[in-house]
Structure 1
Amino acid sequence: MFIFNPLQDNFQNFPIISPFEVRFKALIQKEKRVAYFYENPDNSTFRYRVYNMIEALSTFEDISASFFHNGDLDSLDKVIDHCDYFVICRSRYSEKLSRAILKAKFKGIPVIYDVDDIIFNIDYVHLIVNTLDQDLKDPNVWDFWFAYISRQEATLKLCDRSITTNSFIANKLREKTGKPVSIIPNFLNQEQINISNKIYQQKLDNKFSRDDSIYIGYFSGTPSHNRDFEIVASPLVNLLNEDPRIRVMIVGYLNIKGELGNYSSRFDIYPLQHFLKLQELIGKVELNIVPLQDNEFTNCKSELKYFDAGIVGTVSIATPIFSYRQSINDGNNGFLANSYEWYEKIRNVIDNLDQYSEFAQTAYNDSLTKFSWLNYPNVIRNVIFNTED
């Protein structure tokens, strides 16, 4: 584990939901106005696809943006009367939302659907349910997922165009709708960069000094990654068995089962963290592992687990799904591992820790260069306003 001084632990709760009138006032501050809608603001999709976008747009002198949610459905008429663009992020069809969409279209306001997963096409329900390790025999599971995805699909169909995170999922959207699709990747916001730079600088100043343990980190985030983790279960058993220095850090939800249960004393398990506190935990581990099943659902995922780790100088090993093939140059700024390569790839990093700082610095520089929010205000503006520089 890397040694550095702990950072502040008194982060404000996220997200902070101000009263409607405060968020409405933020919307109407400037000449050009972008209203975002997201059902229930959270610490994952909302942060990357709404919060970060609004922060980036706020840097323009003539653009203001704000977000609204299910608690504001009765006030959406007022929002539509005062916005120029209406962006709906990953939200299910409802009577009140559909009424707002139709009003916007009647007024000539572009309505845009933003999504980061293939949760808009019922043809993929079985694949999604299976990938997420849901109970295939439970009719309630099928009822939930068919309803959830059908309602997302209904919202998508009402929108004029869509925005997503990479070209793989963009092609899925084009196939589904036949409408224009644009790409705005996920990226780091300034708060993440500030806190991560402090962590990374300490690691540099300490010359990447470590204690005697070697931590493999798995930052699952949601309770739906059991099948993904199974990919590395056997390699981890072998590594834990042969090397007493190795420990595993888990942040989020995960069932430790099978032979791994024999090594439970060497697992450090944390609940979900504030996104800034999470950067500190990622910064402590030697390896950030991102095992994924390789299918059409997972290939729609973004590369955020790579750059969240890279920006604190932590090296990642990831399954070579589309986004990680695009972002990780194997053996340069991280490593790619097919399902049969995990033991070899992890062992190789552990056996060559004297070279670690080179990989870590390359990953940091790459993450900051490509995934800083500073790269994206113009991209976001041009995509939403449907213009070019």
Structure 2
Amino acid sequence: MTNHPLWNLSLAARLGLLKPGTQRIAFLYPQPDVGTFRYRAFNPVDAINNHSTKKSASYFFLSDLRAIDDLSTFADVLVVVRVPFDGPLERLYRKFRHQGKKIYFDIDDLVFNPEFAPLVATNLGYHQLEGDHLNQWTAFMTNIGKALSKADAVTTTHSFLAERIREFTDNPVHVFSNSLNAAQLEVCSRLSSDQGTQGSLRIAYFSGSPSHSLDFEVARHGIIRFLHESPDSSLTVVGHLELSSELRALGSRIRSLPFMDFLAMQALLATCDVNIVPLQRSVFTHSKSELKYFEAAAASTITLASRSPLFSQVITHGANGMLANADEWAQVLHALSAMEVSDRSSIAQAAKTHAEATYSPSALLSQLEAIF
């Protein structure tokens, strides 16, 4: 469980966010965290309550269901976020259905389809997953898929994942993007833009989970080559990534920091020239969202990402970011390093403008109003 001052409200206070006379939307998630819960429950609630006069929203956790006899008496719409199907969830579905209220299931990756269990396990780094452990993982995905199928409709993060969901269910599928929240934008409004020095780069890699080590491997050789050829450049790694001996050999030019609060991350991003997002090529990684792009963009930092379907859609190479194939990382880093600082600033500003227009709370509300 990950508590945070932004979502440290009591159950009574969270119930109080659902306002009479509005369409009341309840988001249900297993327990608070800074990942899926923040993007798929807290941020939508934050956007609705700060920008809508016709809707109100709140977030709840599975533990709350022991204290709330019937959530359907407080809410008009239920959005179940990544909760596996079980007895308590079946009873909650039944209560909302009894009152003729709609149920949505929200999912942000491939864990709804047990056919993908081996692929998901491999991409997460569980290469030796077998026997009971694989059965448990498959059972979890089966129950996620069951909860999704028993809802009235599905929401997800982008069109590529929406198509995978439509291959699995006949339920209507809607998209609302992951987004920035008001606190992130407020932090970014106080940051100063610094595009560094021509001829060198301050590279940053943010690893939110151990599985990202496989993604980093896609670019590792190109990054190491670039760092050897650009002695004034550096790399900062944040989070769950074990540094290779080749990187450790670069000494003080490599900085390793522990996983950090997402608001502190915005400030750190502003001190870097380029945020790198290498990705393996698989349906699993292609189902991940573009959050690493827009969070860096909000801090006026350029993103260099793998040419996945989604990143190729949101980034125009050389305009609001940079893209690289697996064999191009050193080449594109050199090209970015050689740019005039003013040209880097133009790319960073274009990314910031795009992020603020597309991933802000008000932009999110427009998407939500088209769904609920």
TM-score range relative to shorter protein = over 0.9
1:14–1:43 CA contact under 8 A, matched in 2: no
Which secondary structure state, in structure 2, belongs to the residue aligned with residue 111 of structure 1? Answer: strand
User: Aligned with 1:313: secondary structure?
Assistant: coil
- The answer to whether structure 1 residue 39 and structure 2 residue 27 are counterparts is no
| Whole-Å separation in 1 of the counterparts to 2:365 and 2:15 | 21
Say whether 1:120 aligns with 2:112: yes
The Cα shift of 1:51 comes to 0.8
**Matched residue, 2:64:** 72
Instruction: Compare 22-31 and 227-236 and name the one that shifted more.
Output: 22-31
Q: Secondary structure at the match of 1:297?
A: helix
| Residue equivalent to 1:358 | 346
Match of 1:9 in 2: none
Q: Does 1:252 align with 2:276?
A: no
Among 80, 83, 95, which residue is 2:87 paired with? Answer: 95
* Aligned residue among 49, 64, 75 for 1:83: 75
TM-score normalised by length of structure 2: 0.93
Secondary structure (helix, strand or coil) at the match of 2:17 reads: helix
Gapped runs of 5+ residues in structure 2?
none
1:13–1:274 CA contact under 8 A, matched in 2: no
Measured in 1, the distance between the counterparts of 2:99 and 2:146 equals: 21
Per the TM alignment, residue 15 of structure 1 is displaced from its structure 2 partner at its CA by: 4.9
Partner Cα separation in structure 1 for residue 21 and residue 237 of structure 2: 44
Match of residue 48 from structure 1? 39
After superposition, what is the alpha-carbon deviation per residue over 1:105-132, rounded to whole angstroms, capped at 9, x for unaligned?
Answer: 1221111001111110011111111111
Secondary structure, aligned partner of 2:349: helix
Among 116, 135, 160, the residue aligned to 1:143: 135
Matches within 5 A, 1:367-382: 367-382=355-370
Query: Is residue 25 of structure 1 aligned with residue 19 of structure 2?
Result: no
The separation in 1 between residues aligned to 2:270 and 2:100, in whole angstroms, is 47
**Pair 1:235-2:226 in alignment:** no
What value does the CA root-mean-square deviation take over the aligned residues? Answer: 2.0
Q: Equivalent of 1:163, from 144, 155, 165?
A: 155
Give the TM-score normalised by the residue count of structure 1. 0.89
Q: Could you tell me which amino acid in structure 2 is paired with residue 232 of structure 1?
A: A
* 1:224 CA drift (Å): 1.3
| Structure 2 residue aligned with 1:306 | 293
**CA deviation after TM superposition for structure 1 residue 308, in Å:** 0.6
Structure 2 CA distance for aligned equivalents of residues 192 and 375 of structure 1: 15
State whether residues 234 and 254 of structure 2, in contact with CA within 8 Å, keep that contact through their aligned partners in structure 1.
yes
- Cα deviation for residue 256 of structure 1 reads 1.2
How many residue pairs are counted as aligned between the two chains?
Answer: 368
- In the alignment, structure 1 segments of 5+ residues that lack a partner are 1-11, 385-389
Task: Measure the CA separation in 2 of the matches of 1:106 and 1:30.
Answer: 21
Q: Distance in 2 between matches of 1:303 and 1:371?
A: 10
In the aligned structure 1, how far is the partner of 2:250 from the partner of 2:196?
26
State the Cα distance separating 1:52 from its structure 2 match.
1.0
Aligned: 1:220 with 2:211:
no
Aligned equivalents of 1:89, 1:156: Cα separation in 2: 9
Displacement of 1:212 in angstroms is 9.5
Asked whether the equivalents of residues 233 and 260 of structure 1 are also in contact (C-alpha less than 8 Å), the reply is no
Per-residue deviation at 1:86? 0.4
Distance across 2 between alignment mates of 1:264 and 1:156: 48
One-letter amino acid of the structure 1 residue matched with residue 305 of structure 2? A
Q: Per the alignment, in what secondary structure is the counterpart of residue 68 of structure 1?
A: strand
**Alpha-carbon deviation of 1:319?**
0.8
Aligned 8 A contact 1:196 1:279 in 2? yes
State the 1:176 CA deviation.
Answer: 0.7
3-state DSSP of counterpart to 1:176: coil
Report the counterpart of residue 4 of structure 2 in structure 1: 13
Counterpart-to-counterpart distance in 1, 2:275 and 2:243: 18
Q: In 2, Cα distance between the equivalents of 1:256 and 1:140?
A: 31
SS in 1 for 2:120: helix
Structure 2 vs 1, CA of residues 15 and 148 (structure 1 numbering), >3 Å: closer, same or farther?
A: farther
Query: Partner amino acid for 1:68?
Result: F
Query: Residue by residue, what CA displacement relative to the aligned partner does 1:318-347 show, whole Å, maximum 9, x if unpaired?
Result: 011122111000111111111111111111
**AA in 2 matched with 1:378:** S
Structure 2 SS opposite 1:104: helix
Partner Cα separation in structure 2 for residue 115 and residue 222 of structure 1: 18
Q: In terms of mean alpha carbon deviation, does 58-67 or 326-335 score higher? A: 58-67
Given that 1:248 and 1:268 are in contact with CA atoms closer than 8 Å, whether structure 2 keeps it comes out as yes
Name the CA distance, whole Å, in 2 between partners of 1:165 and 1:278.
22
Aligned partners of 1:118 and 1:353: how far apart in 2?
41
Give how far 1:177 is off.
Answer: 0.9
Measured after TM superposition, the shift of residue 141 of structure 1 is 3.9
Counterpart CA distance in 2 for 1:147 and 1:239 is 44
Letter in 2 for 1:52: N
